[in-house]
């Protein structure tokens, strides 16, 4: 700052001295001037050469502080417009709240095709048709299940069981037909039935009600 004041005083004395001889400038060893002082000295020298020694020029540098500050404010405003709002930043962050899994939906009863069952479960000989039994006629059920051993009832046409067939035989041989054949006897018109715990043969129809010794029920017809 002292170097700048000395330089301004020398310049005013040289340009506006009023005809008086300027005082001799003492020899001062050159000092390294800052970049701002060099720029100011260059601009002042150029101005003095253009004016030709006329009126004194203003040596105060133009203040660019307000303009520069305005540019910075505009730049910051543009950056704020480009940056996402806080609410958007918060929405990008992954949520730490555990997601509850919805329970599986059970199929509607309307979409499930229910199997048709016999109105009255009937067993009988080969002269009676097998299939879905209704309220009229005699139809023997061919899709029975035992509620005691929970296994399917099998039948054999024109056959009956030997008198020596017993529980352990059916327990070990059911449902293998090859193992059951040794206890089957040829009997035209008869139909032999068995599960793993119960066996019988029939030539006449018999309805299996609540009082029947057989725990055989219809498991449904497609």
List phi, psi (to 5°) of 201: -140, 150
CA dist 170 and 196 (Å) reads 5
Domains: count for the chain: 1
Please give the model's pTM, rounded to 2 decimal places. 0.51
Within a domain: 130: yes
pLDDT at 18: 47
183 found inside a domain? yes
The reply to whether 168 falls in a domain is yes
Residue 198 included in any domain:
yes
- Residue by residue, pLDDT tens for the chain (222 residues) are 566 677 777 767 666 554 445 455 555 555 555 455 555 455 555 545 554 544 444 445 455 555 555 677 777 776 666 555 555 555 555 556 666 666 666 555 455 567 899 999 999 999 999 999 988 789 999 999 999 999 999 999 999 999 999 999 999 999 999 999 999 999 999 999 999 999 999 999 999 988 999 999 999 998
Residue 171 lies in a domain: yes
Name the strand (E) or helix (H) holding 193.
strand 184-194
Is residue 201 assigned to a domain? yes
Give residue 156's domain range: 122-218
Residues linked to residue 159 through DSSP beta bridges, in sequence order: 186
- Alpha helices in the chain, H assignment, sequence order: 2-15, 35-51, 65-82, 86-92, 167-173, 177-180
């Amino acid at each position: 700052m002292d170097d700048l004041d000395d330089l301004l005083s020398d310049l005013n004395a040289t340009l506006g001295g009023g005809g008086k001889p300027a005082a001799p400038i003492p020899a001062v060893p050159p000092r390294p001037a800052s970049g701002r002082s060099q720029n100011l000295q260059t601009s002042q020298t150029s101005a003095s050469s253009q004016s030709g020694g006329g009126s004194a020029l203003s040596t105060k540098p133009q203040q660019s502080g307000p303009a520069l500050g305005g540019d910075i404010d505009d730049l910051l405003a543009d950056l704020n417009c480009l940056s996402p709002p806080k609410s958007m930043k918060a929405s990008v962050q992954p949520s730490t709240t555990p997601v509850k899994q919805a329970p599986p939906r059970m199929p509607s009863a309307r979409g499930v095709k229910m199997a048709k069952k016999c109105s009255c479960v009937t067993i009988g000989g080969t002269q009676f048709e097998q299939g879905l039994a209704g309220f009229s006629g005699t139809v023997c059920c061919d899709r029975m299940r035992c509620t005691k051993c929970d296994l399917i009832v099998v039948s054999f046409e024109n056959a009956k069981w030997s008198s020596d067939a017993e529980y352990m035989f059916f327990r070990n041989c059911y449902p293998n037909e090859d193992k059951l054949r040794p206890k089957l006897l040829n009997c035209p018109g008869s139909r032999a039935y068995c599960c793993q715990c119960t066996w019988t043969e029939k030539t006449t129809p018999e309805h299996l009600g609540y009082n029947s010794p057989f725990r055989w029920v219809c498991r449904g017809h497609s």
